Structure 1
Amino acid sequence: MQRVPIRELDSGQLEKVRIQLQKALETGDKEVLFEISSRGGDHDEVFDLITYLRTEKFQTSCIVTRAASAASLLAISCGLRKIRKRGKMFLHAVEVTLPVTMVTETNRLPESTVQKCRYRQRETESLIKQRTKIPPAELAKMMAPGAQGRFDAESAVRWGLVDEVIDY
């Protein structure tokens, strides 16, 4: 089993994770335990990782200490999900961070950027609907701009973000 610590979810960190998983794949090891303590990161990178894990048929599990944003999505996607007794998880709508150069002379975002953001938001909501017990009305509130879903260990289990609480 590969133990993979997840801290920052940027392209550099996730490239290291992919390399580790590719090496494991070469040896036939398809079990992965993600140890998640992360403030989140790049949704695009995380969905690429989730797709890779599914495509290569990895058996995934996680232990969450703290998971926000994209890190929560990675945790939700795992087959076996645990959270520490004092663990926390956070969910919110996809936010776009853009360089100033992305805004055109008309002060509008390019349509392709808007479409990509909408697609990623639908993908986020679809994953949450498929893998949790969060009712559509609650999910809509969490996914409103500026809103956030906050979960301690017990509520994360109750809402189906994880399967069980562990004591350590």
Structure 2
Amino acid sequence: MGMSVTISAATEADTEQILKLQYLCYQSEAQLYGDYSIEPLTQSLDSVRAELTRGTVLVARLGDEVVASVRGTVGADGTARIDKLIVHPRMQRHGLGGRLLAAVESSLGAAGTAKRFELLTGHRSEHNLRLYRKHGYTSVSTKRVDDRLTVVTLAKDVEAGAAAGALATTA
């Protein structure tokens, strides 16, 4: 009998699983850019705990195991920043990243203060770029960090996110 993946708000009890999953998921990014000192690989458990209280943190569970997570906050200017969308490697390519992205957009947009969704990824992260573009994000800026990395900022209006979320729930 198979289990289905459920998405819900993260709890303090999920913190360690989120951090371990984050460490696993960002290995490929570190390898892609030749930099193992990136923040997701050096973040502390206390820092992840603090993020639980500062914003929206969602997890996807397969039984008791956290297999995906995403974080988001809404700034005073109405920009909802989506961060650290991670999916366990064995669960990738099954639509879970898209489901989690839609769920965090819905959650961040529910309060009515968000006007725009924004996220960042590296220029070589083709899978991430493809996922975000598929979900209506467009590149709004790039910033060269060093010889290895250019950060791409992608964004979309909240109305576009709500329309895409409605389509996803009816499909």
Which TM-score band (shorter chain)?
0.3 to 0.5
TM-score relative to the length of structure 2:
0.37
Larger CA Rg, structure 1 vs 2: 1
TM-score relative to the length of structure 1:
0.37
Bigger relative contact order, structure 1 or 2 (CA pairs below 8 A, ≥6 apart): 1
